[in-house]
Structure 1
Amino acid sequence: NLLLLSNLLERTSYAVVFQYLASFLFRREKKRKATTSMVTVVRELPELQQILDNNAVVAIDFYATWCGPCKRISPQFEEFAKEQGNVKFLKVDVDESEDISEKYGISAMPTFIVFKNGQVSETIVGADINKVKNAVAKALDSA
């Protein structure tokens, strides 16, 4: 019985170790994917101002974590960011960054604001990626 128990514990510990390693590797892979995003999350007004001052065209997605349309358009915004190397893409959580949301008069989510040379070029209210793409294209054409 002692030998049987020893074998059982040995197999169990390998299984536990294997599960732990697998979960560690999976979490690490998830973190790696999250860092490859072309969209930067901004939380502070000075940080946003610095980005606006140093980039010709900036597109910001003002979102809320509880907003269904925000969740649906987020992958499209991420994909668009990958296609546009000469545009800075940002996300602002309206609940975390109330000062930024207040400054730009955000009252509905999602709201997208495209900036050209630090100035608001166009504001899009609603989850319409084509309107965002058109606004970015206009800002690039006139930059």
Structure 2
Amino acid sequence: MAVVTITKENFEQEVLQSAKPVLLDFWASWCGPCRMLSPVVDEVAEERTDVKVGKVNVDEQPELAGEFGIMSIPALLVFEQGKLVRQAVGARPKASVLELLG
């Protein structure tokens, strides 16, 4: 499944109303660890059809970053049935991202 670009305009529909668990990657283009994590998140999106994967550019969506208290990036947030259930900060190996999904 393709990665969805998440904005404050589509957040409710794509994340809160999603029937599937949602993995959100909060990132920025200037962030080195974000660039390391991005291909891992893309791989998870390709392999896990049971999960929706979205990316939030914190420079373009500061309201969303603020709403979830994102102080460090990359930050991964997992939502299930519209609720934030798990989160992790920093670049991590694929196994760790998959573990975060449960």
Please, what TM-score do these two structures have when normalized by structure 1? 0.66
Unmatched 5+ stretches in structure 1: 1-36, 139-143
Q: Measure the CA separation in 2 of the matches of 1:110 and 1:39.
A: 16
Task: Measure how far apart 1:47 and its partner are.
Answer: 0.7
Counterpart pick for 1:49 among 12, 16, 24: 12
Aligned to 1:91: 55
Higher relative contact order (CA 8 A, sep 6+): 2
Cα distance in 2 for residues equivalent to 1:55 and 1:99: 24
Task: Tell me, yes or no, if the aligned pair for 1:61 and 1:91 is still in contact at 8 Å.
Answer: yes
1:89 match: secondary structure: strand
Tell me, yes or no, if structure 1 residue 130 matches structure 2 residue 95: yes
Task: Select the structure that is richer in strand.
Answer: 2
* 1:81 match: 45
- Could you tell me whether the CA contact under 8 Å between 2:74 and 2:91 is conserved in 1? yes
| TM-score, with length taken from structure 2 | 0.91
Higher helix share: 1
User: Is this contact kept in 2: 1:124–1:131, CA < 8 A?
Assistant: no
The one of 96, 101, 118 aligned to 2:65: 101
Q: Give runs of ≥4 in structure 1 deviating > 2 Å.
A: none
Letter in 2 for 1:131: S
The two structures, once aligned, show a CA RMSD in angstroms of 1.3
- Other-structure match for 1:141: none
- Give unpaired runs (5+ residues) of structure 2: none
